[in-house]
Amino acid sequence: MKKNSLSPIIKELLKNGTVNYFLAYGKGSFWFKVRPLIIREPVELKNLEWNRFCYPNLTTYLKDSSRSQDKIGVVVKGCDVKSVVELIKGNQIDRENLFLLQVPCDGTVDPGKVENLVWISKLKVTGFEETGNGLEFITKEGRVSVNKEEVFFSKCYKCDFAPSPLVDRYLDEERLEKNQPSIDNPDLYEELRIIEEMNPEKRSIYWEKQFSRCIRCFACRNVCPVCYCPTCVFDQKDTSWISKGVKPEENNIFHLTRALHVATLCTGCGECERVCPMKLPLMELNLKLIKEVDELYHYKAGVDLQSISPLKEYGKDDYDEFK
């Protein structure tokens, strides 16, 4: 991965006034962490980072951008472009004021999975190196090799990236073409099967347990690029969609409603699940609806600007199981 080639481009774009500032990844407090970085002056480029841990979806910071006149540049991965598509379709981004710089990405690493695999304690690993098919983590005890799909986010090894005409500039077009899912014919919905195959009672207990752990911190909602309502339905003062106090029996209202609210908009970026402090399997809900929408209405979010969400449309001859 080349952060060195990223820097001069951003510098140039700032200098020639194409953008007022740039949204990119900066060095984090640990080697396995990054943080969002806003670059207004070339000097700030010294903190620029681009590595296997650039998994956050920066487009969530664009949610309010239509209200400012600034021209914003943003570093995006292939999957992030899908969120941009939905933000444009939802009139949340002024395309004219946006510059999309896409970096080639063939997968980001889930620190949680690394932890499960190699880290006994995070501090013992001091870094990693890329090998042909995988990664090699350097620990004091020696090197540990892992395959990519063992440590990648599942959305990464199933990545169905296709170059988007929306992007203003690709960092490395040659590399871009080579972007392929790590595994052939990935089962996009494999996570769902375990739950779908459970008997209803077990499923009910499983979700009851999950929902009961929710502390309603709303991190899942706040990080979600397509949760762009200025005042969320759950923050309304005068309408009691859910009780304001933490009533565990109403947690499911929150999560199911949220899943339905992002249905046909959710691109599967997985940020909600990643930021959840209680590690609720939120993507399972979203993925379920992605699957149903795909099967029922042959629609996928984030693919193009023209297609209309099936929840905003109707078909006279739709599937009808009702009497």
Partner 1 sequence: MKKIGVFVCWCGLNISRTVDIERVIKEVSRHPQVVVSTDYKYLCSEPGQNLIQKYVEENELGGLVVAACSPNMHELTFRSVAQRCGINPYLCEMTNIREQCSWVHDDREEATHKAIDLIIMTVEKVLRSDPLYSSTVPLTKKALVIGAGISGMESALDIANAGYEVSLVDKRPYIGGHMTQLSETFPTLDCAQCILTPKTAEVARHPNIKILPYSEVVEIKGYVGNFEAKIKRKATYVDWDKCTGCGICVEKCPQKTYSEFERGLKERKSIDIPFPQAVPFKVTIDKESCIYLKKNKCGVCAKICPAEAVDFQQQDTIIEEKFGAIVVATGFELLEGDDLAEYGYGKYKDILDGMQFERLNSSSGPTSGKILRPSDGKEPKELVFIQCAGSRDREKGVPYCSRICCMYTAKHARLYKQKVPDGQAYIFYMDIRAGGKGYEEFIYRSVDEGNILYLRGQVSKVFEEDGKLMVWGMDTLSSKKIEIAADMVVLANAMIPSQGSKLLASILKVGTDEHGFFQEAHPKLRPIESLTRGVFLAGCSQSPKDITDTVAQGSAAASKVMAMFSNDTIKVEPVVSLVKKEDCSGCFACEIACPYGAIEHEEYKGRQVAFVNAALCQGCGSCTVACRAGVVDLMGFSNKQILAEVEALLWK
Partner 2 sequence: MEIVAFLCNWCSYAGADLAGTSRFKYPANIKVIRVPCSSRVNPTFILKALANGADGVMVSGCHPGDCHYTTGNYFTRRRLLLMKRLLEFTGVNPDRVHLYWISASEGTKFAEAVKEVVEKVGKLEKNPMSSIEGEIRYEKK
Backbone angles phi and psi of 194, in degrees to 5: -55, -45
Site of tokens 């600007």:
305
Within 273-312, the residues that bind partner 2 by CB under 8 A are: 285, 288-289, 292-293, 296-297, 310-311
Asked if 83 is part of the footprint of partner 1 (rule: CB under 8 A), the reply reads no
CB-based contacts of 253: which residues, under 8 Å, 6+ apart? Answer: 241, 242
- Tell me the window of 22-30, 36-44, 89-97, 141-149 that interacts with partner 1 (CB under 8 A): 89-97
The entry of partner 1, partner 2, none that residue 308 binds, CB within 5 to 8 Å by partner kind: partner 1
Q: Tell which one of 35, 67, 203, 244 touches partner 2 (CB under 8 A).
A: 203
Q: By three-state DSSP, how is residue 69 classified?
A: coil
Q: At what angle do helices 248-262 and 282-297 cross, to 10 degrees?
A: 40
The entry of partner 1, partner 2, none that residue 289 binds, CB within 5 to 8 Å by partner kind: partner 2
Are 38 and 31 in contact by the 8 Å Cβ rule? The answer is no
Asked if 232 is part of the footprint of partner 1 (rule: CB under 8 A), the reply reads yes
Backbone angles phi and psi of 77, in degrees to 5: -95, 170
The entry of partner 2, partner 1, none that residue 195 binds, CB within 5 to 8 Å by partner kind: partner 2
CB-based contacts of 11: which residues, under 8 Å, 6+ apart? Answer: 42, 45
Site of tokens 């998994």:
55
Asked if 204 is part of the footprint of partner 2 (rule: CB under 8 A), the reply reads yes
Residue 220 to residue 206: CA distance in whole angstroms: 20
Segment (H or E) for 37? strand 34-39
- Tell me the window of 27-35, 85-93, 137-145, 200-208 that interacts with partner 2 (CB under 8 A): 200-208
Residue 42 to residue 60: CA distance in whole angstroms: 23
The entry of partner 1, partner 2, none that residue 229 binds, CB within 5 to 8 Å by partner kind: partner 1
Residue 10 to residue 37: CA distance in whole angstroms: 12
Asked if 88 is part of the footprint of partner 2 (rule: CB under 8 A), the reply reads no
What is the nearest approach in angstroms of partner 1 to the Cβ of residue 84?
Answer: 15
Are 86 and 164 in contact by the 8 Å Cβ rule? The answer is no
Asked if 315 is part of the footprint of partner 1 (rule: CB under 8 A), the reply reads no
Asked if 241 is part of the footprint of partner 1 (rule: CB under 8 A), the reply reads yes
What is the nearest approach in angstroms of partner 1 to the Cβ of residue 229?
Answer: 4
Are 25 and 36 in contact by the 8 Å Cβ rule? The answer is yes
The entry of partner 2, partner 1, none that residue 165 binds, CB within 5 to 8 Å by partner kind: none
Residues that bind partner 1 (CB under 8 A): 66-67, 90-92, 228-233, 236, 238-241, 261, 308-309, 311-313
Residues that bind partner 2 (CB under 8 A): 192, 195-196, 200-208, 233, 241-242, 248-250, 252-253, 256-257, 259-260, 263, 285, 288-289, 292-293, 296-297, 310-311, 314-316, 318-323
